[in-house]
Amino acid sequence: MVHFTEEKATMLATLYARALDARREHPLLGDTAADEAVKRIDADFSKMGVNSDSAASVAIRAKAIDDRAAAWLARHPEAIVLHLGCGMDTRVYRLDPPETVRWFDVDYPDVVELRREIYPERPGYTTIGSSVTDFAWLDQVPDDAPALIVAEGLIMYLQPADGAELVRRLVGKFPSGHVVSDLFSSLGIKVQKLNPVVRRAGATVHWGIDDPHELERFGLRLVSSSDASHWATPETVRLLPLGSRLALQVTALVPAIRRMGRIAEWDF
Ligand SMILES: C[S@@+](CC[C@H](N)C(=O)[O-])C[C@H]1O[C@@H](n2cnc3c(N)ncnc32)[C@H](O)[C@@H]1O
């Protein structure tokens, strides 16, 4: 049986969430590769705190980040992609970029080892097993093209000083680039134990960001920001389970709650 603890264990929960979504009659994301992976990984997914509503919210977040990343990549077909804290996410297969894109999936070594067992290789695709804040990994990445940096469910797990240093180094490395990431607000950090995935994994989130302009101090320029009630497109909302649709409507009415989760994009 695979064994991951704390923040690493959360990536099995988000994988399972996308698998559950793929099993629905009308999936939001339709990540069938996630479902195949879940069937091959020996883990007790039922104990990870994921239900149909949380699965829907993970699928919505993944779709929202996919759409943003795909839109930027379509304009930069020669880009370098850094997918940080990739976990077992199949984003590279979902977006299926052309071979001119050099894509790097980065996560801790044992997470990357599991990826290599489960997912096939593909041209232009490399996995790097390292903490994103042990910065020597950056030497494995070329710096001769604009970079797309995607981080989903990662930033909140970093210590703020480490996260700031990571952003500074990324901005300093490439000629230009674009960052797509989700964020937790400071309230999201305070109430983290209400999040069953975080609680059951025994994980701790540290870095709350109330205003995505805060990252401009480290060399980024904010280009867009949307809170959790705006991630789903109208077509997606129609496909949501009833409970999730109601939760979304309630969330939209309470600014502090709907701002607990945010997806932002920055240029540099
Ligand atoms: C909530 S999971 C998200 C995984 C994936 N992005 C997804 O959406 O399924 C958090 C991921 O961040 C990774 N992570 C947390 N801190 C990290 C660090 N310092 N370096 C590399 N990966 C990290 C964990 O190992 C885990 O895979």
pLDDT per position as a tens digit, 145-203: 999 999 999 999 999 999 999 999 999 999 999 999 999 999 999 999 899 999 999 99
Phi, psi of 50 (to 5 degrees): -105, 130
Q: Say yes or no: CB of residue 11 within 6 Å of ligand 1.
A: yes
Q: Say yes or no: CB of residue 111 within 6 Å of ligand 1.
A: yes
- Helix and strand element counts for the chain (H, E): 11, 7
Q: Say yes or no: CB of residue 107 within 6 Å of ligand 1.
A: yes
Phi, psi of 22 (to 5 degrees): -65, -25
Please give the sequence-ordered ranges of beta strands (E in DSSP) within 79-220, or none if there are none. Answer: 80-84, 102-107, 125-129, 147-151, 177-184
Q: Give the model's confidence band at 76: pLDDT under 50 very low, under 70 low, under 90 confident, else very high.
A: very high
Q: Give the model's confidence band at 232: pLDDT under 50 very low, under 70 low, under 90 confident, else very high.
A: confident
Domain-located, residue 86: yes
Task: Give the domain CATH number at 165.
Answer: 3.40.50.150
Angle, alpha carbons 198-163-181 (nearest 5°): 65
Dihedral (Cα; 87, 88, 91, 96), 10-degree rounding: 130
- Domain residues for 220? 59-267
Residue 257 CA to residue 3 CA, distance in Å, equals 33
SS3 81: strand
Domain-located, residue 237: yes
Q: Among 21, 60, 107, 182, name the best residue to mutate to test ligand 1's pocket (greatest count of ligand atoms within 8 A of Cβ).
A: 107
Domain-located, residue 250: yes
pTM attached to this predicted model: 0.96
Domain-located, residue 87: yes
More reliable by pLDDT, 251 or 157? 157
Residue 97 CA to residue 180 CA, distance in Å, equals 16
Bridge partners (DSSP) listed for residue 129: 107
Domain-located, residue 74: yes
Q: Give the model's confidence band at 58: pLDDT under 50 very low, under 70 low, under 90 confident, else very high.
A: very high
- Residue 240's pLDDT is what? 87
Lowest-pLDDT choice from 12-16, 85-89, 234-238 = 234-238
Q: Say yes or no: CB of residue 21 within 6 Å of ligand 1.
A: no
- The domain tally of the chain equals 1
Domain-located, residue 194: yes
